[in-house]
Amino acid sequence: MNVRKVFALVRAQSADCALSLFIASLLILAGSASCFAQADPASEPAVLAVAKVLPAVVNINTERVVRRTVRDPFEDFYAQFFGYNRVRPRQIRQTLQSLGSGFIIDPAGYIVTNKHVVERAADLKIHVTTNDGKTYNAHYIAGDDKTDLAFIKIDAQTAFPFINLENISPNLLGQTVIVVGNAVGYGSSISRGVLSAAKRNITVDDVEYKDLVQTDAAINPGNSGGPVIDLSGRLVGIASAKMAFTPQGVPTQGLGFAIPAEVVRDSVNRFKKMAQKQPTTKSSAATSETSISRAENLFGLQLQNLSQELSDALGYARGRGVLVAAVEPGSPADEAGVERGLVIYRIGKFEISSVKQVEELFRSVDSGADVEFTVGVMGADGQNRQLANVSLKAR
């Protein structure tokens, strides 16, 4: 074979190799384009899941107005050492607000959230803001202290998007979960993690929770009551608590807890039966949190349990007495000078700490009976004590 034929053969082989490389490059580029198309954020499972549930997630703002009795410390000083007559204590109005989350579970506007987000009170106002920015009034229907769940309803005649409780997540260890809610007041916030454990029993701020699911997804103040979902948009549970420190005071990370979806579903079924018994009233009948029965009928008093949160906000001693939420004008309590915002610590010879206990004591009180009350304010530090004994005649 001469040199020319050898060069011709080499050129032919080089051309074939170049063609092969060109075709391979085209195939690689085509594959890369396909990969880029699959990575479109709009098609990510997490994005699709959030878009599916977000219209049903709401921000909940509760507002309660209480009255606090305050005295001028200089006036008290002069009265003690110089015998001046004390001026009647001033009363100030204080608005207590709390933020939380919830989600609609029925097109009629029924919402499930945490009980501690919508603590029942005689003058509680509940405002609900949906994802489209519209704000509605809502009213309390029922709640359960054991599960820390509550049921409220939007006061509007329209159809709402909702999360279906008939198809809930299997809650498998390691599955991806997403927390959706009103984190630190920022609506429509999400955080992502995995389902870390199930059947957890914990105590946070002296509140005991049982059979919770655990996640490392961030749960912040305001997330309480919001949904925890899987990548299919199915309910995993309701964000409920975050453990920032162990009982020994050791700081923790990634320890968030949620009420399981099956507990939520069972509770909602019970709440719906209660709602059927009170379909039209806004101011639903009193629950264990308030009393408008014997206390009001006999003395004109509406009473409220002093939760730890409310005691701390008012500066009152924890675990002592019940709060006077309202006083009926012209009632025995009003005529005796009992005012809204004061605390009843003792009835007769019995120290009290709950509305239920008061109602039990009043069962044996008849019209015309004289009952002695110890009323006033006892500060959280144990030093600011302003108590008085008053006798009220049952009407």
CB 234 within 8 A of CB 265: no
- Which pLDDT score, from 0 to 100, does residue 213 have? 94
| pLDDT for 281 beyond 50 | no
The CATH number of the domain holding residue 196 is 2.40.10.10
Q: 242 and 150, same structural domain? A: no
pLDDT tens-digit map of 25-39? 666 655 555 555 557
Interacting residues of 311 by C-beta distance below 8 A, sequence separation 6+:
317, 318, 319, 380
- Which pLDDT score, from 0 to 100, does residue 70 have? 53
Which has the higher per-residue pLDDT, 112 or 295? Answer: 112
- 140-163: average pLDDT: 89
In this structure, what token pair is assigned to residue 336?
A: 């005796």
Measure the CA–CA gap between 261 and 235, rounded to whole angstroms.
Answer: 6
Q: 88 and 125, same structural domain? A: yes
Instruction: Report if residue 387 sits inside a domain.
Output: yes
Positive or negative, the Cα torsion across 266, 269, 274, 279? positive
| pLDDT for 286 beyond 50 | no
- Which pLDDT score, from 0 to 100, does residue 2 have? 55
- Which pLDDT score, from 0 to 100, does residue 80 have? 52
| pLDDT for 201 beyond 70 | yes
Instruction: Report if residue 163 sits inside a domain.
Output: no
C-alpha gyration radius of the chain: 31
Strand partners, 343: 323, 376
* Full residue range of the structural domain in which residue 3 is found: 1-39
Q: By percentage, how much of the chain surpasses pLDDT 90?
A: 35
Q: 385 and 324, same structural domain? A: yes
| pLDDT for 174 beyond 50 | yes
Q: Phi first, then psi: what are they for 66, rounded to 5°? A: -125, 160
| Tally of domains in the chain | 4
Instruction: Report if residue 276 sits inside a domain.
Output: no
Q: 150 and 191, same structural domain? A: no
Most confidently predicted of 31-45, 73-87, 117-131: 117-131
- Which pLDDT score, from 0 to 100, does residue 118 have? 85
| pLDDT for 239 beyond 90 | yes
Q: By percentage, how much of the chain surpasses pLDDT 70?
A: 72
Helix (H) or strand (E) run with residue 75 in it: helix 73-82
In this structure, what token pair is assigned to residue 335?
A: 């005529």
Instruction: Report if residue 159 sits inside a domain.
Output: no
Most confidently predicted of 55-69, 85-99, 166-180, 233-247: 166-180
The CATH number of the domain holding residue 335 is 2.30.42.10
Q: How confident is the model at residue 11 (pLDDT cuts 50, 70, 90)?
A: low
Q: 251 and 315, same structural domain? A: no
pLDDT tens-digit map of 335-360? 998 988 889 999 999 999 988 899 88
Q: 345 and 368, same structural domain? A: yes
- Which pLDDT score, from 0 to 100, does residue 283 have? 40
| pLDDT for 292 beyond 50 | no
C-alpha torsion 138→140→141→145, nearest 10: 140
DSSP class of 86: P
Q: 89 and 15, same structural domain? A: no
Q: 145 and 76, same structural domain? A: yes
Question: What is the model's pTM?
Answer: 0.57
Instruction: Report if residue 306 sits inside a domain.
Output: yes
| pLDDT for 91 beyond 90 | no
Q: How confident is the model at residue 330 (pLDDT cuts 50, 70, 90)?
A: confident
Instruction: Report if residue 320 sits inside a domain.
Output: yes
Q: 360 and 301, same structural domain? A: yes
| pLDDT for 151 beyond 90 | yes
- Which pLDDT score, from 0 to 100, does residue 285 have? 36
- Which pLDDT score, from 0 to 100, does residue 37 have? 52
- 272-295: average pLDDT: 54
Q: 133 and 204, same structural domain? A: no
Q: 252 and 191, same structural domain? A: yes
Q: How confident is the model at residue 163 (pLDDT cuts 50, 70, 90)?
A: very high
- Which pLDDT score, from 0 to 100, does residue 92 have? 52
Q: How confident is the model at residue 314 (pLDDT cuts 50, 70, 90)?
A: confident
Q: 246 and 294, same structural domain? A: no
Instruction: Report if residue 166 sits inside a domain.
Output: no
- Which pLDDT score, from 0 to 100, does residue 370 have? 93
Instruction: Report if residue 162 sits inside a domain.
Output: no
**Distance from the first to the final alpha carbon of the chain:** 129
Measure the CA–CA gap between 101 and 163, rounded to whole angstroms.
Answer: 14
CB 111 within 8 A of CB 103: yes
- Which pLDDT score, from 0 to 100, does residue 175 have? 96
- Which pLDDT score, from 0 to 100, does residue 221 have? 83
- Which pLDDT score, from 0 to 100, does residue 16 have? 57
Nearest to 256 by CA among 218, 211, 210: 218
The distance from CA 320 to its chain's CA centroid, rounded to whole angstroms, is 24
- 149-178: average pLDDT: 93
